[in-house]
Structure 1
Amino acid sequence: MGTSGTCTLCGVEDEDSFHVFMRCAHATSLWKAMSEVWSLPRVELIRNTGKEWLLQLLVSIPETQRAPTLVTIWRIWHAHNEMTHKKPCPSIEGSRRFLISYLNSLMMIKQFPNADVVKGKMVVDPDQGFKRATEGGANRPSQKKRWILPKPGKMKLNVDGAYTMISAGAGMILRDSTGEVIFSACRALENCRDATEAELLAIEEGLRLALLWTQMEVTLETDCAESLEFIQQSTPNTSIYASRITVIRELLGERETKVVKISRDVNGVGLARVHGRTGFWLRSFPEEVAVAISNDCSSCSD
């Protein structure tokens, strides 16, 4: 079979590795998009020095740029293969969101090696890179954290949002000053953008149910710092979550309700882990969270 050395995608230049990763139209668009969120080497300064141009590039750039550079190249190759085999090309925005989430997950695993990273809501330090967040303090004894009962005449609403590339869910549970469950609920989420939106949806759904099932003052507990920051901002929100945050602020204004940040270690009753399931239990809860509820009550009585 006769073959041509010209790039089959753009038809402009000969297709070698430098063209595929640095010069082809899709590649340059993705480099531009990722440069808006990551510190990447400037494409126009990268030169084709021969077969080892990529190795030479990785040696010459700061360590903090190497991982973002490699995953960007990896995604370009994936898109190139998809188009070569006549499959739909991933959108630039879709690839951007995927790479941000993917690299954050990798750093999260490295920075928090002993933590539950399924929900992806720990704060990742980009400057820390792939170093453990526990360095220098790994041998310090950890103090057992406890969930604290609400005061008499008040309620506590624990909410949780979970997100993966495959599925997303929201969970919520309302308890009184004795630890008795007023209601528990979970909801499968469709078309959810990320972990932050999953948490905001859990907060919104939890508030709606709490306003319906109790007249008492409610303290809402979330383990997502970003969601809490969005809600408590004094200025109008202009993020992609703006409409969701507006609704939550309106619900908070209907009755005296506090929203506080708690540790993920004491928010284990989150029903968001029940992926793909929607349900509501009045004065009850599913078996999946029975152990976590029991542990909460035990720790409160220690």
Structure 2
Amino acid sequence: MTASFQAAQARAAARADADARAFADAPPSPYLPVKRNIKRKGIECDTLCVCCRRLDEDCAHLFLRCKEVTKIWRELKLDNIRNRMCQAQDGKEAVQELLNLTERDSVQHCGKLMKEKTERPGLMWQAPIGDVLKINIDGAYHAAQRKGGWGFVVRDRSGSVRGSGAGVLPCVASAIQAEAHACTEAVYAAMTWGMVNVQIESDSQVLLRAIQSNDLDLTPEGVIYRDLRVLLQLNFNQVSFSFAPRACNNLAHCLAAYGASRQDSRLHWSESLPDDVRVMVASKFAEPGV
């Protein structure tokens, strides 16, 4: 583990710890514009919950007890956490239940959100079958600056993150070159972690075609494609490829954007995700139609 990686981990942990303490110590409910709080400020309004229209809308009801909301917690298999939050004495104690989650639990729940975020079968991440690990890759490219980034995430059939990586590309010629670098970094990381049965998934059909054939070997990126084919043939028992639209590749996309924003050429996280990427994933989860 490099000194720069350890320093980056320490900075991220310090930021996350400070944010968590500030969030937990803040007085939560009086400042959230739920209907009960609005009425307490002297504004006349209907206080019934906008979702179920059965009980008054306060923070506990809107986030935890509304029958429509409980369906979401249950579908995400997070009902045990909701029950513990419901038993809390106040909002601060309820938030503390979330902050007490271990890093592994947080990663697993983040994966569940990404997996369950949409009911449209064609626009959701599909888990691999059996003991195969799926590697989603993506590259970021800024044409004006001629720089970019790469990112990948490895997940198993339960959606749990088994590893991830990101890094900056200070000089890159094209979007497809950024995608090829992302695939190379993912393959090397999978080799290091001892993964032998993998499925590589990308939102670039050109890249998938280039890796599986020699049609594009005479392009500027041809040497990368040839090296990839050799690495995959010599170091893995089983390799398959699949195409996914951008909506199914959001986690890798967030990692590529994170890599492009950093100064580090290579960052790896074993069975984890960086805190900044978790925030990006959560914001994308909140966007309709993403």
Q: Please give the TM-score of this superposition, normalised by the length of structure 2.
A: 0.49
Q: Please give the TM-score of this superposition, normalised by the length of structure 1.
A: 0.47
Bigger CA radius of gyration? 1
More helix by proportion, 1 or 2?
2
Higher relative contact order (CA 8 A, sep 6+): 2
